[in-house]
Structure 1
Amino acid sequence: MDSFWSVLTGAFGLVFAFNPDLIEIIGLSMRVTLTAVVISCLIGFPLGALAGAFRFPGRTLLTIILNALMGLPPVVVGLLVYLMLSASGPLGPLRLLYTPTAMIIAQTVLVTPIVAALTRQVIEDLNLEYSEQFASMGVGPFNRVTALLWDARYSLLTVALAGFGRAVAEVGAVIIVGGNINHVTRVMTTTIALETSKGNLELALALGVVLLTIAFTVNALVMTLRASAVRAAYA
C-alpha cells in the first residue's frame, strides 16, 4: 500500500513540477495528434460531405468502405505505413520512417475514415431535411455543400474531437512507424507502455494522468458542443 501511494505521489509530483521529460513527451504527442487531426479533417470533411449530399455511382460502395475503415486495426495500419516508408517501399527514399512525420501519416490513415464516415452521416441527415428548400431555390452543388457544412459546424467540431480522442490514445501504429525513440518519436502512449515494462511507474502514471485529463476534457467539449448545437437549432 505504501508503494502504491509513493508511486501516486511521485506521479503527481512530476506533473505539478512540469518535469522536462514529461513536457517534451506531451508536446510531441500534441503536435503529432493535432497535425494528423487537421489533415484528416481537411480530407474527411469534403469527402464525407460529397458522399452525404449527392447521389452518384459507387456512393453505396464508398459508404461501405468508409464505415469498414472506421474499425481498422491500428497495428495493421502501422504495418502498411511501415512497408510504404521502409527502405524497400515506394516512399523509402523520403527517409520518413522513425520520424514524427511517419507517426502523423499513420494517425491520419486511422482518423480520416472516422471523420469522413461521421461527416457523411451528419451531412446526409441535414441534406434530407433541406432537400426541398434547395430544390425550390435552385441551389447549385457547391453552394449546397457549403451551406450544409456551415449549418453542421457544431456537429463537425464534435466529429473532429472524436477523431482527436481516437488519435491521442493510439499506440499500436505509432510505435511501429515511430520506433519509440527517446527525444525523437516518444509520445505519451508509447512511453506509458515502455516505462511500465521497465518498472518506472511514476513517469508512466504521470503520463496516464495527463492522458486521462485530455480524454475527460475532450468528452466535456463534445458534450458542450452538442448542447450548443441543440440550443442553436431551437434558437
Structure 2
Amino acid sequence: MKRVERLHALSERLRRSGVRGCTAERLAAEFGVSVRTIKRDIDALENSGTPIWARPGPGGGYGVVPQANLPPVSLTPGQAVALLAAVSAAPEAPYADLASVAVRKIMDVLDPRTRESVDALARRIWVDTKGSGIRAVRSTLEEAMSEQRVVRIRYCAQQGSETLRDVEPVIFASTNGVWYLIGWCRLRDAMRWFRVSRISHASVTREPCGTHSVEEIGAPPATSRSVHVEG
C-alpha cells in the first residue's frame, strides 16, 4: 500500500474507532508498518487538517474528533449521479481511487429518498471499467506529485527504447483521453511529457523536487483548463 492510500485508510480507520480510539501498536499491526511510521502518518494527517485527538497512557490511543465527520449533503439526484458518472468514467485519472472513496462518503450521507432516486438513475448509466493494469504506477505518481518528491520511472518510448529517468513531477495533463505526467527530466535536463501508460515501473525517492513550476510548461491550449474550482 502506497503512503497516500495508507494515509486515507488510516483516517477512515480512526473515524470508525469512535470515542474508544485505537492504539498505535494496533494500527501498526493492521497496516503492516512500524509504530514509528504510524506516528509519522498521524502527524501528517494532523498537518493536513484532520482533527485527531490523542489519549496517553493505558487504554489510550488516537481517534478523530466526531464533529469532523461529513454532515448531511443537499444534492439533487442528477447532481449526485453526475458525480458518480464522472468518477466512474475516468478510472485512469489521477487520484481516481480517492475520488471514488469521496463519492461513496457523499452517497452515504444523502437522505434516504434522494439516495433511492440516485440508485434508480445510476442504473441507467453504463461505463466501461476495463483497467489498463497501471494502478500501482499511477498510485506512485500520485504520491510523488502530492509530496513533491522526485520519482524514478522506467519509461518506454514510442519506438520501443526503454530508459530509467528521475523526474520532478509538475503537473498531470489529459489530452485526447490520454493521461501524461509532465515534469523536469533530469536525464534530458528539460521539461518532458511522459505518457502514463508507457511507464512500466515507478518509485518515489526521498529527494524533494526543485523549483520548477507550472509556468515553465507554458500556457495550456485554448481548449484546456485546470480542474481548480473558482471560489
| TM-score for the superposition, normalised by structure 1 | 0.21
Where is the strand percentage greater, Structure 1 or Structure 2? Answer: 2
Structure with greater helix share of residues: 1
